[in-house]
Structure 1
């Protein structure tokens, strides 16, 4: 029976899929499978031939392999490796090269003979590449083929650098990179214009010859392409779908990457479910949007014809379910994000008392506050709450060199005008000009330049907070140390960041904390900043009474909104408030027009923010609720 249930649950999936709670657990499992192959080959006096991948996905696999080597004696002396790909052209010593990546994350820490390492050569003349690729294939064949190939997946569906249009029998070759692939790599290269347009990659056919293939994917950012690769039709538009043709492939995912698979996203379509309150809400919202019918207009036939017959028969009729879910959604909407004083708050998102709350809004970057929840920020200040804002990082990464030069020119001129010591500032200006002239992509700025860029963003953040209505003493520029430390090492301690955050929280003693819950941030800063806040609050709740009464609200930024069924507080904005929010965003002049790291969305941040909140308001309207100009959405964190 268990086997039948599993088959029913996974019937939409065309490849074997294993889902782990998080990427840490999954990575250890993959590392153990690789280690087992190595040990088995050692026991038989044979060579283990590994196909390896680069990028963020396999880093923790390599970290565990290094641990197994150092702590448990796993030897790599009988291992030969072949990497999937390399940018072209690319010097092996470049920071972005996959030679550097593999040395840093694996090879420099284990006992593999250097002659056993094979990585495509990005230094070849173009007329030598084809011969190199043929020799690469032959060398794999001469060793008896790959024992295991590990893969990640790009958002184009590429495996290796086999972009859309690749053939299922393709071999190692020189390819042109998709524009989305280059945009995703732009952060590593200091801009898309610096990302190579080509790469050398193993082909799909080469990958298929491996005796075992493992494709790994982590977090919700990969969920959409994972669903297409696992449940979609085989197509050269998504090369990862070719893996459906293999009998020896497995997708290993964390819960985030798996969240859009049918058995997790709409499980009532895949198997019998226990209809919990949260699942009922999710299903009814899904059905309403799918049929483009307001919730109160859904019928029993609608439920029965769309995989929800068991819901209407066990919890129905449909009318009763519709009324319940409609009321739940209606109660999320409030014009009083700090709570409405003197009213019954039993069905409201926030408490009525105290009438004037201490609130602190944590902003990972200096503009996330107004971009993500600017309307709510303004509303809290207008309604008389004691609102503080804390800018967690300097954001100096995201300032153009030209902006830094412009501000230095201004500072030099004003210093001369005032008759102060202009020589030091002029020297800084001249040295900065010389540095900018020879600066390489992704080169880390010297400390003084980082400070200049931080001051630019600090001034903009203060201007934005003042525009909202905050007094200067309620504006805190934390400049948490981890942000600059991580430029030099990813293995950093966050203890002083946590202590600094705890001290600020003690100072404010907030009833409300607003924090960025947008963990899709492509650069990872939002998640780190949230973890620091969560740890600080968790420690305080264990020892200080006020902290136990502190509610933590999560907002999201310019990338994604919370799913409708998860929203617990929805703050509607009038057209006038949308305009005020826009003007607050405009105070961040260095981020307007073309930010340094725009991601893969060409819209300006203020446009993204308005489109997102307008879209959320549109969803409420489609569900049959009131029609607002815009809505900012929040989810309350549940402490254990």
Structure 2
């Protein structure tokens, strides 16, 4: 169990089962199981600060951030305002940055973001809101930046600064090369930053090249700084920031010089910190089975040896001598780990009938299972587990694929326009009720940042739907076993989605109750750049929890796969399904049926490869790891982790 609390500036962290040693770390940090719990605690610290200032009849000066990281903090602050009477009457805010040029009314502007998520819902005085102005004339920018600095100083300085962090290590828009003495200024955005923002702007070509940002020195003058980071895709830069040397190449490392900074992280963002990634190199450990397995796999990779070749000397020389001191020999440890991995491998993902299943990942009975394969977007099924999908069908199971969202925002305007023009040439209005000329006109008149019209969204959703049918037919699935939920939280026409609601959970609950599955496969890849996977998984968790008392749920197992961004670490895998060369090719072709997602992927994150290439490389890499560890050699492997709900 992990407990974390923040009271004022006092943050304590305990992790049961592991000796905590932060000798490699240069910035104080706390780690939460998930971003929701962390955000509530951060919001509470801000609320306590606001109230303490109110009691002294003083202004509370907040530095605020935008992006996905602080959204849940703002939601909690709004809740406290509405339900607990938290007043913002004494609050003065200064935002970190704004794109340039950028009109305030654009839904990509940070002015729009802050009003949408916070200012429109609380009693803050409009004159107390300060956001860099993306409409200032170029010749007036220098004076604007000087004035922004003076306004912060005249307000008494920042009492609290909330930060996120970019993959370049930027805080605000202080990109690599920013000086520690830099003040508020205009800056040219790094290419990686523009790639990360490209989904919000419908392509990298539409992302502004510049931004106005508070400087590093402006941030460092804050009395209190809290930086938040969520997800595995932030793990590398978080490790570099917390454990690396101070460098202008990673501007966030300048925070090492601040005496009242805390990084608030979820497990994914913290996963590469030495005390979590390789705690045996830091200090004494309490050796759980999972930690022992992780360490042995690491030792094999570190020494470039297979499991059965590891010696006592390998363990002793790499921080794992206490495993041997506990009475185990290298031979015993190696054999046990080899068997653990061996037992994960199966060519029968639905269980092999009429066999002893005591050392198999799935049950032998019932021989023919009802299976739900949940897919957040209309291609995650084949990208993540296309080979396993085909095996389940071939082995006679009753497989249902359930697409949780329409995926319409991932279809480019050019792709939709192509389909609309073809349809318009064929008929004026088809039976779906779409007026294709209206769709063409809407796309051609669309401005950057404008959301799609309902008809455009409908067409884009139909494109994804028909691609899905083509792919599942190729795999061998009957059309009647393909289901589309079109969960409401997704249908905003914009990258920003609505929160998960009761209607979303009810839709998922209904299909689980209707099919009564023995197996549920779901996306456990939370590195999705825009969070749809996490929302879809939370809907499944909530639905299964609500159904837990139903008799059929006693026989229902939940398996998590990972998608296009990361794979399970070897020690985390509970079921490894080998694929033959023919099955790899079948999976590739199924992915390629999703033609709208080929070549110009809008939401590919930090990986420029196409989804089919990523999936194939990932599956082949997993197979190579098993091979190097001394297991059988396969062409590719799809991996799954069983989740106890």
TM-score, structure 2 as length reference: 0.93
* 1:552 aligned residue: 558
RMSD of aligned residue pairs (Cα, Å): 2.4
After superposition, the Cα gap between the structure-2 partners of 1:331 and 1:43, relative to the gap in structure 1 and judged at 3 Å, is same
After superposition, the Cα gap between the structure-2 partners of 1:200 and 1:492, relative to the gap in structure 1 and judged at 3 Å, is closer
Which has the larger displacement, 602-611 or 139-148?
A: 139-148
Matched, 1:518 2:530: no
* 2:577 aligned residue: 571
Matched, 1:327 2:333: no
Q: Hey, what's the Cα distance between the residues in 2 that align with 1:67 and 1:453?
A: 35
Shift of 1:359: 1.6
Q: Hey, what's the Cα distance between the residues in 2 that align with 1:29 and 1:412?
A: 53
After superposition, the Cα gap between the structure-2 partners of 1:86 and 1:549, relative to the gap in structure 1 and judged at 3 Å, is same
Q: Hey, what's the Cα distance between the residues in 2 that align with 1:189 and 1:164?
A: 23
SS at match of 2:547: helix
After superposition, the Cα gap between the structure-2 partners of 1:486 and 1:524, relative to the gap in structure 1 and judged at 3 Å, is farther
Matched, 1:386 2:398: yes
Q: Hey, what's the Cα distance between the residues in 2 that align with 1:638 and 1:580?
A: 31
For residues 514-557 of structure 1, give each alpha carbon's deviation from its aligned partner in whole angstroms, at most 9, with x where no partner exists: 111111111222122222222222232312x2221011111111
For residues 315-370 of structure 1, give each alpha carbon's deviation from its aligned partner in whole angstroms, at most 9, with x where no partner exists: 42111101110111111111111111121110011111222222221111111111
1:372 alignment partner, one of 366, 384, 393: 384
> Counterparts of 1:313-352 in structure 2 under 5 Å?
313-352=325-364
> Counterparts of 1:91-106 in structure 2 under 5 Å?
91-106=103-118
Structure 1: which 5+ residue stretches go unaligned? Answer: 416-420
Which structure features the higher share of helix residues? 1
* 2:611 aligned residue: 605
Q: Hey, what's the Cα distance between the residues in 1 that align with 2:179 and 2:556?
A: 56
2:278 alignment partner, one of 266, 288, 293: 266
After superposition, the Cα gap between the structure-2 partners of 1:422 and 1:559, relative to the gap in structure 1 and judged at 3 Å, is closer
1:236 alignment partner, one of 241, 248, 260: 248
User: Does structure 2 retain, via aligned residues, the 8 Å contact 1:339–1:350?
Assistant: yes
Shift of 1:88: 0.7
* 1:418 aligned residue: none
Q: Hey, what's the Cα distance between the residues in 2 that align with 1:635 and 1:78?
A: 49
* 2:98 aligned residue: 86
User: Does structure 2 retain, via aligned residues, the 8 Å contact 1:412–1:425?
Assistant: no
For residues 366-425 of structure 1, give each alpha carbon's deviation from its aligned partner in whole angstroms, at most 9, with x where no partner exists: 11111110111111112222222122222121222333333334434444xxxxx76999
Matched, 1:618 2:624: yes
> Counterparts of 1:28-107 in structure 2 under 5 Å?
28-107=40-119
Structure 2: which 5+ residue stretches go unaligned? Answer: 1-11
1:589 alignment partner, one of 595, 601, 619: 595
* 1:637 aligned residue: 643
Q: Hey, what's the Cα distance between the residues in 1 that align with 2:300 and 2:226?
A: 38
Q: Hey, what's the Cα distance between the residues in 2 that align with 1:344 and 1:427?
A: 55
Q: Hey, what's the Cα distance between the residues in 2 that align with 1:446 and 1:602?
A: 29
2:470 alignment partner, one of 463, 467, 471: 463
After superposition, the Cα gap between the structure-2 partners of 1:555 and 1:422, relative to the gap in structure 1 and judged at 3 Å, is closer
> Counterparts of 1:375-454 in structure 2 under 5 Å?
375-415=387-427, 428-454=435-461
1:276 alignment partner, one of 279, 288, 291: 288
Matched, 1:529 2:541: no
Q: Hey, what's the Cα distance between the residues in 1 that align with 2:581 and 2:161?
A: 54
User: Does structure 2 retain, via aligned residues, the 8 Å contact 1:371–1:585?
Assistant: yes
Shift of 1:196: 0.7
User: Does structure 2 retain, via aligned residues, the 8 Å contact 1:412–1:426?
Assistant: no
After superposition, the Cα gap between the structure-2 partners of 1:315 and 1:532, relative to the gap in structure 1 and judged at 3 Å, is farther
* 1:208 aligned residue: 220
After superposition, the Cα gap between the structure-2 partners of 1:386 and 1:494, relative to the gap in structure 1 and judged at 3 Å, is same
